[in-house]
Amino acid sequence: MAEKSEWQGTVGESWADEYRRTDRSFTLLTEHLLAQTRQFSFKNVLDIGCGAGELSLAVARGRPDVAVTGVDVSPDLVAVARERGSGLANCSFELADAADWQGDGSPELLISRHGVMFFDDPPAAFGHLADQSSDEAAILFSCFRSLEENPFFTEVIRQLPELPDKGDPRAPGPFAFADADYVRSILAKAGWQDVGCEPFDFPMIAGVGEDPVAEAIAYFKRIGPAARAARDMDTLARDRFFGRIRAMAERNMHEGVVSLPAAAWIVTARKA
Ligand SMILES: C[S@@+](CC[C@H](N)C(=O)[O-])C[C@H]1O[C@@H](n2cnc3c(N)ncnc32)[C@H](O)[C@@H]1O
């Protein structure tokens, strides 16, 4: 699900259109990652799979003394990130595959908010990134834990007329890094040590505002498993499906916010 070629095309396009809702959905995760950056000392940062740039921009705004580079394979997302960062002198964005990115500086901190689970060959990609980094480099990224621990997704999937085939759990996709031992083995093979995987649970926001349920439905129609499944449905099946999604969103609205639990790993390591 969502391989590199999809990010370069329609999936990247939808994420570029929906970046505000996506950033809102990850609000607490972004704050947590930002807080975690404070344990490291750095002047040069690389944001891997930066998407529309939220994490890069947040680091650059808070640390004017630091140079931040975001890389992503989606032309649409890089265009949005560049526009958002146009007023910031210390933040730039490159259209590049992080697995073979070559930069001018050597980053001391590599960061990512859910942008590292899509490599065809993760040990090679993380090994290449280690080679491009300074000798003292550290890495800090988030990724989802298992699908089963993420009602933000399972509750949507449960509304489908047929459950999708589970496929290879380690194939590039949002849940490829669910197994912490697998993540540790990738990073160790790639020349990173002292790997830490800390669980972080957060409410993932789907809808707020005047009509939070309508907001949530609009978001599910564009991003994630509902959007993907709905593409192959006829009009009647789609209407019924989004009727069930509406009921699910209503059940998960509390104090004017539609949100569902999400579960991530916060992974840290340093260059061996
Ligand atoms: C789940 S999105 C996260 C985007 C962003 N970090 C955020 O939090 O909004 C994954 C991102 O990784 C990017 N991506 C996938 N494979 C990549 C690769 N090989 N090199 C760089 N970016 C990649 C996608 O284009 C997408 O923007």
Note the pLDDT of residue 161. Answer: 86
Dist. CA 71 → ligand 1 center (Å)? 8
Output the CA 23–ligand 1 centroid distance in Å: 13
The region, left, alpha or beta by phi > 0 then psi within -120 to 50, assigned to residue 31 is alpha
Residue among 54, 73, 112, 204 whose CB has most ligand 1 atoms within 8 A, to mutate: 73
pLDDT of 165: 82
Torsion angle defined by CA atoms of residues 126, 30, 264 and 210, in that order, rounded to the nearest 10 degrees: -140
**Domain locations along the chain:** 4-147+167-204+263-271
CA 144 – ligand 1 centroid, Å? 13
> What is the rounded (10 degree) CA torsion for 254, 201, 66, 134?
-160
Task: Find out whether the beta carbon of 97 lies less than 6 Å from any atom of ligand 1.
Answer: yes
- 174 CA from centroid of ligand 1 (Å): 10
| pLDDT score of 141 | 98
**Among 236, 204, 206, which Cα is nearest to 221's?**
206
Cα 46 to middle of ligand 1, angstroms: 13
List strand residue ranges (DSSP E) for 150-226, in order: 192-207
- Residue 148 confidence (pLDDT): 96
Q: Is 200 exposed, middle or buried (0-12, 13-18, 19+ CB in 10 A)?
A: middle
Pocket mutation for ligand 1, best pick of 50, 94, 144 (most atoms within 8 Å of C-beta): 50
CB atoms within 10 A of CB 121: 12
Please tell me the predicted confidence (pLDDT) of residue 179. 98
Looking at ligand 1, which residue's alpha carbon is closest to its atom 14?
A: 49
What single letter denotes the amino acid at residue 52? A
Q: Is the distance from CB of 4 to CB of 120 less than 8 angstroms? A: yes
Atom of ligand 1 nearest to the CA of 174: 1
Per-residue pLDDT at 2:
67
Verify whether ligand 1 is closer than 6 Å to residue 24 (CB atom): no
- Annotate 243-271 with DSSP letters as a single string: HHHHHHHHHTEETTEEEEEEEEEEEEEEE
Weakly modelled stretches of the chain, pLDDT under 70? 1-2
The 10s digit of each residue's pLDDT in 232-253 is 999 999 999 999 999 999 999 9
For atom 27 of ligand 1, the residue with the nearest CA is 51
Q: Hey, what CATH topology would domain 4-147+167-204+263-271 get?
A: Rossmann fold (3.40.50)
Nearest to 48 by CA among 83, 120, 96, 105: 96
Instruction: Say if pTM beats, i.e. exceeds, 0.85.
Output: yes
